[in-house]
Amino acid sequence: MSTVVKGDAGAAVIEHPLRALWSRQRRYRGRFRAAVLASTINKIADVAPEILIGVAIDVVVRGQDSWAASLLGVESRYAQLAWLAAINVVVWIIESLSEYVAAVLWRGLSQGVEHDLRVEAYDHAQHLDLGWHEARPRGTTLATLNDDVNQLERFLDIGVPAILQTILNVLLVGLVFAAASMQLTLLAFLPIPLIIAGSLLFQRRLEPLYVRVRSAVADLSGALQANLAGIATIKAFTAEERERERIEQVSGAYRRANEAAIRSSAAFVPLVRVAILAGFTCTLLFGGWAALNGTIEVGLYSVLVFMTQRLLWPLTDVAEVLDLYQRGRASTARILGLLNEPIEVPQGDRSLAKPVAGRVEIEQVRAGYADGPDVLHGIDMVVPAGETHAIVGSTGAGKSSLLRLILRFDDPRGGRVLLDGVDVRDLDWDSLRGSMGYVAQDIYLFAGTIAENIAYGRPNATREQIIAAARAAAAADFIEVLPGAYDATVGENGVTLSGGQRQRIALARALLREPAVLVLDEATSAVDNETEAAIQKSLRRAGERCTTIVVAHRLSTVRHAHRIWVLDGGRVTEAGTHDELVAAGGSYAALWAVQTGEPEPERASV
């Protein structure tokens, strides 16, 4: 089992990533074993021709006394050679076939693991709470889902078969050597412990380097993603030069991390070569002497010389394989780290009886972000089912934070939030978020048509329902004149909509859901007064069916609410109807006076 420790960045660190991967991807084990088998057959067939060369030389040199003669029971040299040729053809066919099968199996295995892990990691990421996503650059998560998964695929496709080949090589060649002469085996294998020791040493040196490479990739991807998202701001502030330098720096850090890793892994190759040369020279010299003395046959000598070549030269690839291994390991650690991130806001298991009435209660709620101080200090609020309540207050007062708690994007630090009398922590997502229509303060439209965007929360809505929702959100008029109308594409690479138009599409999206609770965070802040009045009218109509909680700065938006809650510094300072609050002459009254341009009663008298 893998052990999970919390790293300094707060991300889970996996001790034995590849072992953890093995115990996790159970369904690929069968395919893995089949691939290992195919590679093994391939390797055996691959080594066989060298042995056949030796046997052929032996036939020519020793004739009737050759191994082939005793093995095949054929006396004529010509017939023996013909047999060898036939065997060679069979071996060649087996080699080619097994090579094909092995390639297909390894490729299929790596692609399958890549696909599964990517989808699984994405799904896990989307279930992680909003706070988790907000706490790190989006590009970092993107790098894991993209680059790291690709890196792992490369390792499985190229690295693992290469490791296997090397091991099989050593084993098979070792067997042939051992059968021939123990003394020569020792000589030829002399370099191997050296190479293994060197590999382990290098691996230890390389590991931190590749961890650094992977995190540099994540930084780079994060910076690029953030810059592309903020391209308008970069242009508006003519910050191109500065940003180019910044990206150059981040990219440079990636390059340096990679260079450091490559410098180390490249130094390994010459070391291996020296060791190989020693082994090869020993076989050449001492094997030759042994053949001259008649201790070993000429055929065997030639096999041994070929074999040493075959044994030792592929070991130069060990460095490259080690490189792939370390990269694969670092990437696997990041992917599994993401998969091991605990879901801090898991859904409950209670469901509400439908239709949900929509009574929202907030009891003594304290809340804050990450390790920061509280931004809400003991909020008490009741919104009876079917009523429209407004939350107003200066910027930063905690209005959006309060709405997030109702949708349970975060859990409160103290107190509780209830929907129809049930703590939202106990509800499943369908009962809780399924009964909500939410328009966030910053609107997000998906790449797709207007109709798809409006129907996002109710994918099987009919065209009539979509149009009705668009009408209610006062969006129908501008949609109808767009080229393609409801089928016009918006979002990334689509038509660009104005802020107010986007807001109205988001509002239509929320209304189409016919939610029990409509939660609007500055949903009409960007539309003109006239449009807002139209929206108000349809909202009041929709509001007859559902509970509405609306946050707004423009007080004309909220004056008809059943109750208005004034928030200041994370506390409710006033509450009541518009008329009550104006009459009370508190901060709401002051704000109302400013917005309507009427002299404030109190100050006017001063």
List helix spans (H) across 144-239.
Answer: 149-154, 160-180, 182-189, 191-229, 231-236
Site residue total, Mg ion (CB under 5 A): 2
Name the residue nearer to Mg ion (CB basis): 332 or 400. Answer: 400
Please state, in angstroms and rounded to a whole number, the distance separating the CA atoms of residues 581 and 126: 42
At 148, the amino acid letter reads D
Binding site for ligand UTP (CB under 6 A): 134, 369, 372, 375, 393, 395-401, 441
Q: How far is the CB of 134 from ligand UTP (least distance, A)?
A: 6
Name the residue nearer to ligand UTP (CB basis): 396 or 484. Answer: 396
Query: Please, what's the b/e burial string for 499-514 (b: 16 or more CB within 10 A of its CB; e: otherwise)?
Result: ebbbbbbbbbbbbbbb
Give the pair of three-digit tokens for residue 303: 């096999």
The three-state DSSP-derived secondary structure of 2-22 is: CCEEECCCCCEEECCHHHHHH
CB 408 within 8 A of CB 360: no
Name the residue nearer to ligand UTP (CB basis): 113 or 367. Answer: 367
538 binds, among ligand UTP, Mg ion, none (CB under 5 to 8 A by kind): none
401 binds, among ligand UTP, Mg ion, none (CB under 5 to 8 A by kind): ligand UTP
Dihedral of alpha carbons 240, 242, 244, 247, sign: negative
The three-state DSSP-derived secondary structure of 30-58 is: HHHHHHHHHHHHHHHHHHHHHHHHHHHHH
At 585, the amino acid letter reads G
Task: Pick the stretch among 74-82, 185-193, 400-408, 469-477 that binds Mg ion (CB under 5 A).
Answer: 400-408
Q: How far is the CB of 399 from Mg ion (least distance, A)?
A: 5
Name the residue nearer to ligand UTP (CB basis): 401 or 531. Answer: 401
At 350, the amino acid letter reads R
Name the residue nearer to ligand UTP (CB basis): 218 or 397. Answer: 397
Query: Please, what's the b/e burial string for 335-344 (b: 16 or more CB within 10 A of its CB; e: otherwise)?
Result: bbbbbebeee
Q: Applying CB under 5 A, which of residues 400, 431, 449, 501 lies at the interface with Mg ion? A: 400
Note whether 401 binds Mg ion by CB under 5 A: no
Name the residue nearer to ligand UTP (CB basis): 10 or 30. Answer: 10
Q: How far is the CB of 414 from ligand UTP (least distance, A)?
A: 16
Q: How far is the CB of 441 from ligand UTP (least distance, A)?
A: 6
Q: How far is the CB of 521 from Mg ion (least distance, A)?
A: 6
369 binds, among Mg ion, ligand UTP, none (CB under 5 to 8 A by kind): ligand UTP
Name the residue nearer to ligand UTP (CB basis): 146 or 441. Answer: 441
Residue 411 C-alpha from the chain's centroid: 25
**Closest-CA residue to 431 (of 349, 507, 542, 547):** 349
483 binds, among Mg ion, ligand UTP, none (CB under 5 to 8 A by kind): none
Please state, in angstroms and rounded to a whole number, the distance separating the CA atoms of residues 354 and 356: 5
Residue showing the smallest CB distance to Mg ion in the complex: 400
Dihedral of alpha carbons 9, 15, 21, 26, sign: negative
Name the residue nearer to ligand UTP (CB basis): 410 or 532. Answer: 410
Q: Looking only at residues 423 through 462 of this chain, which bind Mg ion when binding is defined by CB under 5 A? A: 441
Cβ contacts of residue 123 below 8 Å, gap of 6+? none
Give the pair of three-digit tokens for residue 393: 């207050």
Q: How far is the CB of 520 from Mg ion (least distance, A)?
A: 11
310 binds, among ligand UTP, Mg ion, none (CB under 5 to 8 A by kind): none
Name the residue nearer to ligand UTP (CB basis): 261 or 549. Answer: 549
Residues that bind Mg ion (CB under 5 A): 400, 441
